[in-house]
Copies of this chain bind each other. A is one copy, B any other.
Amino acid sequence: MSKPLILVSNDDGITSPGIAKLVSLMKKLGEVIVVAPDSPQSGMGHAITVGDTLRLTENNIFKDIAAYECSGTPADCVKLAKHHLLKDQKPDLVVSGINHGSNTSISVLYSGTMSAAIEAAIEGTPAIGFSLCDYSHDADMSHVDEHILKIASETLKKGIPKGIALNVNIPPKQNQNIRGIKICRQANARWEEEFDQRVDPNGRKYFWMVGNFVNHDKGEDNDEWAIAQNYISLVPCQFDLTGHHAISILNDDWDL
């Protein structure tokens, strides 16, 4: 049997330690190709490049692994990989990450990591975004291997339900071992922004956005809860945004 073909991308850029870790793990499971942004794309959400050109350059950063850096967003990377580089060769799995930082709860909307996974899922490819809940560039990733291999292997074996990409968040390295993997819903939490106003050397105002994460969700079935309990959270994410429950409300209550 031929080895499965695994496409790896991310949003922190092709030189980040997280993607190097993910490539090293995926090599154990199949044939790997990497297409990742040439610069950090954090917070890019599901952006794509329209009205501008894209560059794609071969890169030997992973030595024996075919790797390309792309001037665009994570979603662009997946599109270029599937429709330009691979063409008729369909990947068996698309993985994105390991993101340096959490993508739990509402952060999934802003996440470039997850946009790569969702882009693949839209085209029917099993896809997973992996994030480590530790923002530091040199985060300790020594505890992630067995869990990422297990989730990726299970995906290769069983597939993923139609219309779904997996959002996997991993607790930061702690003294205690990870307690397991919980299949969760997205926590009902959000970012409350503050703007730190400063003045540049030319006397013009500018702002830094400073986010404060606010979690009012008391449930024990959501991703924030799982991470706080030292579990890995796995949220099945859909890209059909229709709020079906609201259709009948609007049909009944609204006068259009």
Binding site for B on A (CB under 8 A): 40, 42-51, 53-56, 75-76, 79-80, 82-84, 106, 108-110, 115, 118, 122-123, 150-151, 154, 158, 160-161, 163-164, 167, 180-181, 183-186, 188, 190, 192-195, 197-198, 204-209, 234-247, 249-251, 253-256
Most buried by B among A75, A122, A180, A195: A195
- The CA of A128 and the CA of B226, in the complex, are separated in Å by 33
8 pairs, CB–CB < 8 Å, chain A vs chain B: A43-B47, A44-B47, A45-B115, A55-B205, A122-B190, A154-B254, A234-B250, A236-B250
Q: Give the nearest-CB partner of A163 in chain B.
A: B243
Q: Using Cβ atoms and an 8 Å threshold, which residues of chain B touch A253? A: 158
Q: Are A42 and B50 in contact (CB under 8 A)?
A: yes
- The CA of A204 and the CA of B53, in the complex, are separated in Å by 12
Q: Which of B106, B150, B151, B256 contacts A150 (CB 8 A)?
A: B256
- Closest 10 CB pairs between A and B? A45-B46, A236-B246, A238-B243, A43-B50, A45-B45, A161-B246, A236-B243, A237-B241, A185-B242, A45-B47
Q: Which of B83, B198, B244 contacts A185 (CB 8 A)?
A: B244
Besides the contacts A109-B122, A158-B253, what 4 more A-B pairs have beta carbons closer than 8 Å? A45-B47, A48-B209, A84-B197, A185-B240
Q: Give the nearest-CB partner of A255 in chain B.
A: B154
Q: Give the nearest-CB partner of A247 in chain B.
A: B183
- The CA of A237 and the CA of B150, in the complex, are separated in Å by 33
Q: Give the nearest-CB partner of A161 in chain B.
A: B246
Q: Give the nearest-CB partner of A42 in chain B.
A: B50
- The CA of A109 and the CA of B79, in the complex, are separated in Å by 15
Q: Give the nearest-CB partner of A44 in chain B.
A: B47
